[in-house]
Structure 1
Amino acid sequence: MIPRPSPLVRALASAMAVSTLLAIASCSGEGDASQASDATATPLAARTSAPAPTRTSAPPRLTQAGAQAALITEDDLEGDWNQVKGAAAWGDTLLIGKVDVAQFLTSKANAADCQRLLDALYDDDLLGKPSGASALTGFEQGDSRLLYQVAAHNPVRLSASLAWLKTLPVKCDQFTATDAKGGKRTVQVTTASVPKQGDARQGLHVTVQGTTNGEPATLTLDVAAVRVGNDAITVTAGGLAGGAHPSLELAVRTGAQRLKDVQSGKTPAAGPGRTG
């Protein structure tokens, strides 16, 4: 017969077994806690180390006061240009006419573009109607005129208008328009250079041959449109005495900088003044 262990031995064995189980459970709990801690910390660490999203603020809208401040002055132009009032009412009658659609044998749509050009030059809205603030001013030098405009535009429509201007030297290289009395006018459109200012630009050289007061006359216009952000400047210079491309280029260079200054909250610097 195998002797039974005494009560004291049984108690000691039971205590050791319980201690062993507690130690195993403790180790297991530490592992689970460590894994849980790692699982919890990983997404947080990822979120903490990820770069913060970049916030882009919309450019400030051009105000009416800003548009007026961005206009060029006599001091920004060389020569004998004099600033005049009433430029908003300018519009040479040689630009009034109906395009001869029959002349466009292969593309009638081009006739509509040429009509739009004549109307826009007469109405001084080459880039379409502004979507916000706008201002204009005019200058005269002998028989020549220079019209300068600043305006806020819808960015999509502004880009479309500049793209449209670029097509005109091909679509409207030469066409005929008829005035209200049946007089014929020959219009020619070519590309003109524009100083590399702003974000996008387009230049045109337009001549209209017809009659004024019964006498032969030729109207010559140099045209430039420049986008600066969501705003734009347009310059039209020339007249019956010919084009005024050097003055147009100067107006574009000084005017684009003035508009940039206004957009950044600065006061545009005064022009260099008369040089002669």
Structure 2
Amino acid sequence: MHRRPPSRTARPARVLASALATGALLTCAACSGGGGSNGGSAGHDSASDVAASPLAAESPLASPRTGMSASPRAEKSAAPVLTPAGAKAALITEADLEDNWTQVKGAAGWGDKLVIGKVDVADFLTARTNAADCQKLLDALYDDTLLGKPTGASALTGFEESSSRLLYQVAAYDRAKLGASLNWLKTLPVKCDQFTATDSKGGHRTVQVIEDPVSSVGDARQGLQVTVTGTSGNEPTTLTLQLAVVRVGTDAITVTSGGLDGIESDTTKAAVQDGTSHLKDVLAGRTPPAQPDNLD
């Protein structure tokens, strides 16, 4: 397999729940298209949706949206609804990531114990309401619910490379709630730039959140980098996670990658760009093309 020259801030993926000092977790996904805000900005929910293709009405991957308007003309232009088969078809594969990433089963059970903790409200002397947002972030990282619970079809998959992990999810959401979730993520680098969390044994962990630009794809997007510094087995431990969310209409992909070795931005970027393209194909009623492994 052809390997992309390493470009590392560190290495990407997501830490496994069972091993405090191993893996990395990452959540989900990607979408394609244009418009929306630039860079890491979440943009506004008023960005244009992907128009329904004539193929979508006949495809098992996306079905026409119904009950949206009494006007036949409006119905025809409504965005298609992602089906379970479509969500699965929109997932990325090992070929999208290149390098030595291996697709694994059981990704739905991943969880990173380093992000489990109770936020120290004392860190927020003048903005105590921000503590609730930071707690929500930690809980969402563990549960893989950065965008809340899907309201429609969803699918996820996971990949490993050494001790790094990457979680990829694609799902359909309520439009208003999806826009609110993206806007919420956008506020976290300010609200939760640095805070302390306490684990069940009284250990303290320092959490830092910064904005991390996402490729200009989809209708809206937001990226974050979260660093958790604590101990594992009485040894200093640092978990670094790269989060990328992209909206296409009322669907979105979420990618969470990272681990104890850091992050690899090139891998996250590939997951976002290829995943967005796959989702765009599915919503247009097309099956994403198979991507054969590259040869050395």
Task: Indicate the TM-score class for this superposition, using the shorter chain for normalisation.
Answer: 0.7 to 0.9
1:79 Cα deviation after fit: 1.0
How many residues align? The count is: 224
Aligned to 2:93: 73
Q: How does 1:88-167 map to 2 (within 5 A)?
A: 88-167=108-187
| 1:213-236, Cα deviation, whole Å (9 max, x unpaired) | 221110000000000111000000
Correspondence 1:56 to 2:71: no
1:274 Cα deviation after fit: 3.6
Letter in 1 for 2:112: D
| 1:78-117, Cα deviation, whole Å (9 max, x unpaired) | 2111000111111111000000011100111100000000
- The answer to whether the 8 Å contact 1:78/1:275 transfers is no
- The answer to whether the 8 Å contact 1:100/1:175 transfers is yes
1:275 Cα deviation after fit: 5.3
Alignment gaps of 5+ in structure 1:
1-52
Equivalent-residue separation in structure 2 for 1:188 and 1:208 (angstroms): 7
- The structure 1 residue matched to 2:209, chosen from 182, 186, 189, is 189
Equivalent-residue separation in structure 2 for 1:89 and 1:246 (angstroms): 25
Structure 2 vs 1, CA of residues 183 and 252 (structure 1 numbering), >3 Å: closer, same or farther?
same
TM-score by length of 1: 0.79
Alignment gaps of 5+ in structure 2:
1-70
Letter in 2 for 1:77: L
More helix by share: 1
Letter in 2 for 1:227: R
| 1:166-211, Cα deviation, whole Å (9 max, x unpaired) | 0000000000000000000000000001011100000000000001
Aligned to 1:256: 276
Q: SS at 2:73's partner residue?
A: coil
Structure 2 vs 1, CA of residues 147 and 119 (structure 1 numbering), >3 Å: closer, same or farther?
same
| 1:111-144, Cα deviation, whole Å (9 max, x unpaired) | 0000000000110011000010100000001111
Letter in 1 for 2:115: L
Letter in 2 for 1:101: V
Equivalent-residue separation in structure 2 for 1:206 and 1:274 (angstroms): 32
Equivalent-residue separation in structure 2 for 1:272 and 1:245 (angstroms): 23
Q: SS at 1:55's partner residue?
A: helix
Greater relative contact order (CA < 8 Å, ≥ 6 in sequence): 2
Letter in 2 for 1:61: V
Equivalent-residue separation in structure 2 for 1:72 and 1:263 (angstroms): 15
Q: SS at 1:126's partner residue?
A: coil
Equivalent-residue separation in structure 1 for 2:248 and 2:160 (angstroms): 26
Aligned to 2:228: 208
Q: SS at 1:56's partner residue?
A: helix
Runs of at least 4 residues off by over 3 Å: none
- The answer to whether the 8 Å contact 1:96/1:119 transfers is yes
- The answer to whether the 8 Å contact 1:205/1:221 transfers is yes
Equivalent-residue separation in structure 1 for 2:80 and 2:224 (angstroms): 30
Aligned to 1:246: 266
TM-score by length of 2: 0.74
Letter in 1 for 2:278: R
Aligned to 2:254: 234
Aligned to 1:170: 190
Equivalent-residue separation in structure 2 for 1:102 and 1:227 (angstroms): 35
- Percentage identity across aligned positions? 67
Equivalent-residue separation in structure 2 for 1:271 and 1:71 (angstroms): 12
User: Considering only CA atoms, is the larger Rg found in Structure 1 or Structure 2?
Assistant: 1
Aligned to 1:48: none
Aligned to 1:8: none
Equivalent-residue separation in structure 2 for 1:64 and 1:124 (angstroms): 19
Aligned to 1:50: none
1:54 Cα deviation after fit: 8.1
Q: SS at 2:82's partner residue?
A: coil
